[in-house]
Amino acid sequence: MERRYKLKTFKVELVAHESGPRMKAGSPAIAAGILRPIFAGLDADREHLVVLALDQKLKAIGFKVCASGGMAEANVDPKTVFQAALALGAVCIVVAHNHPSGDPTPSEEDVAMTRALKIAGDMIEMKVQDHIILGRGTFYSFKDSGREL
């Protein structure tokens, strides 16, 4: 007796909307400047994680809000981050999240998440250029701090 299996299939479509000239995110300060307006449109009382997709010349080509959480954390799945980056055609990425408290000092969880994202990125040959934590009027850059990325 022959078995037949039915599998569900689905289609994913990426719809891009151009919004002005693409800016080069060549430094953490410029990347933070690109990211601030994105975070301004999100709830300020919750943590959000955004992936900023960059091309080979470090120009921003798109972004995706990959996680939203509570006041103290946003659980991040590396698969979600890199799925978005690949869909956007990224060569490398900047990961960013906010601290609703206003203090951008990284927690141990932030350090562990950065390490996990770097390892996942290395596996698929997609560099994590930086992890930026936005605070009230300031930011923390893992790259600027000398932490290994």
Measured between alpha carbons, how far is 57 from 59 in angstroms, rounded to an integer?
5
Average pLDDT, the chain: 89
State both tokens at 91: 């060569």
> What architecture (CATH level 2) is domain 28-145?
3-Layer(aba) Sandwich (3.40)
The residue that leads in pLDDT, 140 or 23, is 140
Per-residue pLDDT at 27: 93
122-147: burial string, b at 16+ Cβ within 10 Å, e else = eeeebebbbbbbbeeeebbbbbeeeb
The predicted-structure confidence for 97-137, as pLDDT tens digits, reads as follows 999 999 999 999 999 999 999 999 999 999 999 999 999 99
Domain ranges, ordered by start, for the chain: 28-145
pLDDT band at 145 (very low <50, low <70, confident <90, very high): very high
Per-residue pLDDT at 55: 96
pLDDT band at 14 (very low <50, low <70, confident <90, very high): low
Check pLDDT > 90 for residue 74.
no
Measured between alpha carbons, how far is 82 from 105 in angstroms, rounded to an integer?
25
